[in-house]
């Protein structure tokens, strides 16, 4: 199978998964107004959206849009620091431009070339340290997810025995796991993996170098490994990147929280610090377009009536999906200028990145 066929096959898989998740969400909520068995009228998804503006809650929605702008700023700042450790120096303005365009591609472009590929390729154009530049993009994503998990665990300490956080997520009716178990499991895997990778002794015990030596494109992976291992000696800057990640995530969570306020809800903001990392981490591993359907479905699962302070579980599910969709709309509006930046700089495009990456693709040595 050639590369083009693989790309379209992967896109088809993502479309199918997204479609299935959206269908699952739509099946579990009410789109139109409905009545409870006792005759009490309840609002459907469309009615809830209209009330954002009819009831005068739209300033919260505007605030959700504005506050999300800070997230790519913190991400750009974090990436600039990771680049600096590799002796790659770019202006914060340029780091923000590439990060913002990366956000735009992840949000709007359904193709196989994501924002990380765009960032990774175009930063290599301004430096001779190609492998080092690529590792910064990889590590940037990993640090972001680990920092998000740490933030979640910190919030969990305030709600450790709260029944509202024990809504189990059922995987194929085989195992039930709570949000607490998922995030602690993810963090444990990340910590153990980091220890094995960055400890010279553990690398020998687990044959890390031997595994890399037998990988396809082993010369390329050896260069990437050497570049990534450099971060072992920069504990202070890495701790700073964790703090920068917290800033980015807190503004993203505030975006969702303000969307909840725009819907007339008044939940405890701590729940957003607990549940949104779980939702975003799971969504990152599901091959759906921008987490479409996955994020909404998980919000409906975790943001229950006890969390959203609503009277009916079905109403809570409708509100949770509306909150997720409103947050997605706010983010889309926020990222639209990324299309303008791409138009102003046509050399920064997915097509150009794909052409250049294909032209420089290494052979298996």
pLDDT computed for residue 344 by the predictor: 66
Contacts of 228 (CB under 8 A, 6+ apart): 135, 138, 139, 197
pLDDT computed for residue 343 by the predictor: 64
CA-nearest of 334, 333, 307 to 320 is 307
Per-residue pLDDT of the chain (365 residues; tens, 9 = 90+): 676 787 778 888 888 999 999 998 988 888 888 887 777 888 888 888 888 888 878 999 999 999 999 999 999 999 999 999 998 888 898 888 888 888 887 776 654 445 677 777 777 777 777 788 888 988 999 999 999 999 999 999 999 888 888 776 655 444 567 888 899 999 999 999 999 999 999 999 999 999 988 888 788 788 889 889 999 999 999 999 999 999 999 999 999 999 999 999 999 999 999 999 999 999 988 888 888 899 999 999 999 999 999 888 888 999 999 999 999 999 999 988 776 766 666 555 555 555 544 544 444 44
pLDDT computed for residue 128 by the predictor: 77
- How would you class 3 by CB atoms within 10 Å of its CB: exposed for 0-12, middle for 13-18, buried for 19 or more? exposed
Backbone angles phi, psi at 265, to 5 degrees: -90, 160
CA-derived radius of gyration, the chain: 22
pLDDT computed for residue 1 by the predictor: 65
Backbone angles phi, psi at 151, to 5 degrees: -60, -40
Backbone angles phi, psi at 108, to 5 degrees: -110, -25
Beta pairing class for 169-171 and 175-177: antiparallel
Query: Is the distance from CB of 353 to CB of 122 less than 8 angstroms?
Result: yes
Structure tokens at 285: 């591993």
pLDDT computed for residue 173 by the predictor: 46
Domain ranges of the chain: 45-359
């Amino acid at each position: 199978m050639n590369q083009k066929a693989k790309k379209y096959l992967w896109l088809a898989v993502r479309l199918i998964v997204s479609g299935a998740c959206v269908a699952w969400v739509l099946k579990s909520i009410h789109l139109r107004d409905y009545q409870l068995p006792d005759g009490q009228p309840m609002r459907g998804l469309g009615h809830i959206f209209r009330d954002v503006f009819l009831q005068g809650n739209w300033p919260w929605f505007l605030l959700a849009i504005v506050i999300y702008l800070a997230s790519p700023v913190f991400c750009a700042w974090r990436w600039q620091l990771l680049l600096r450790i590799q002796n790659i120096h770019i202006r914060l303005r340029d780091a923000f431009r590439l990060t913002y365009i990366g956000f735009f591609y992840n949000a709007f472009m359904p193709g196989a070339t994501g924002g990380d590929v765009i960032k990774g390729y175009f930063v290599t154009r301004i430096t001779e340290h190609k492998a080092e530049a690529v590792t910064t993009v990889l590590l940037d994503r990993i640090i972001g997810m680990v920092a998000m998990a740490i933030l979640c665990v910190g919030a969990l300490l305030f709600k450790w025995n709260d029944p509202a956080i024990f809504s189990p997520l059922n995987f194929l009716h085989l195992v039930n796991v709570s949000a607490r178990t998922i995030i602690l499991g993810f963090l444990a895997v990340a910590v153990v993996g980091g220890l094995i990778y960055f400890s010279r002794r553990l690398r020998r015990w687990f044959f890390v170098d031997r595994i890399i030596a037998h990988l396809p494109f082993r010369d390329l992976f050896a260069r990437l490994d050497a570049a990534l291992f450099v971060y072992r000696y920069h504990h202070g800057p890495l701790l700073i990147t964790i703090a920068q990640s917290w800033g980015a995530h807190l503004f993203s969570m505030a975006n969702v929280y303000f969307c909840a306020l725009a819907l007339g809800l008044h939940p405890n903001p701590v729940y957003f610090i607990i549940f949104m990392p779980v939702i975003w981490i799971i969504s990152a591993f599901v091959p759906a377009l921008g987490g479409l359907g996955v994020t909404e479905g998980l919000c409906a699962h975790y943001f229950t009536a006890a969390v959203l302070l609503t009277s009916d579980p079905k109403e809570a599910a409708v509100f949770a999906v509306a909150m997720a969709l409103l947050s997605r709309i706010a983010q889309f509006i926020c990222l639209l200028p990324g299309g303008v930046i791409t138009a102003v700089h046509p050399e920064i495009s997915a097509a150009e990145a794909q052409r250049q990456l294909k032209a420089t693709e290494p052979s298996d040595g």
